[in-house]
Amino acid sequence: MIKVAIVTGASSGLGHAISIAYSKQGWSVVCGDLSGQVPVGESQTTGDLINEAQLGRAMFVSVNVSDSNSVQNLISTAVSQYGRLDVMVNNAKISLESHNKLGPKPITETADATFDQTMAVNTRSVFLGCEYAIRQFMTQPLLASGSRGWIINTSSVYGLKAETDHVSYCTSKAAVIHMTKCVARESAPAKIHCNVICPGFIRTGMDSNLHSNAAVIPATHSLLC
């Protein structure tokens, strides 16, 4: 039986890499993102790369991860195409502080809209992804392993350690960690696994402004120690 994974934020960065990794194991991968853009350094979209290399099967689904109806559509489309869902990777994120040309700002200079949008994309999206993945898992029989499904949520080292002038991002990622613990406890009796990963500083397009910011680089390195 070919297993099926949904990966949000699949068009670039970590989501792109996760999608490729699943495809190399022969999985069918549903690449969810706002747009099917071509990742930096590549000549094709994530899904096209997978299909052309015949690593597995892949399809792209446009999704607004902070919208309930859109997330439901993502999962229902995956199931309609491939028949089931085995793994839900809630990976989509934004870091508005990183994109700010003037650099990160303290809370007194952070716009309400920045906080609201960050929480919507980084935290509400995980809530919705967990909710609707579990609803789908509960319609499926147990696998031979005794499990019913897996959820992987992407947090960050910034969710573990506070950082100056990153209040929106740090808060959103800390919430993902605690949410994962709650979901793991309540879904375990149904044989559904929920785990969180906390990546360190990865060179992706989203964080490109930080790579050349001499004032920020020492702080990002300190998170790895």
Strand order in the sheet with 57-62: 57-62, 28-33, 4-8, 87-90, 149-154, 192-197
Cα separations in angstroms, 43 against 11, 28, 59, 122: 12, 21, 17, 28
Task: Considering the candidates 22, 82, 158, 169, report the single residue annotated as catalytic.
Answer: 169
The closest of 103, 98, 80, 89 to 46, measured between CA atoms, is 89
Asked whether the beta carbons of 52 and 104 are under 8 A apart, the reply is no
DSSP state of 157: G
* H runs (alpha helix) in the chain: 13-24, 46-53, 68-82, 96-99, 112-119, 125-137, 167-187, 208-211, 217-222
Ordered DSSP codes for 87-118:
EEEE-----HHHH-TT----GGGS-HHHHHHH
Could you give phi then psi for residue 62, rounded to 5 degrees? -70, 130
22 is catalytic: no
CA-based nearest residue to 159, from 183, 143, 175 = 175
> Could you give the residue numbers annotated as active site?
169
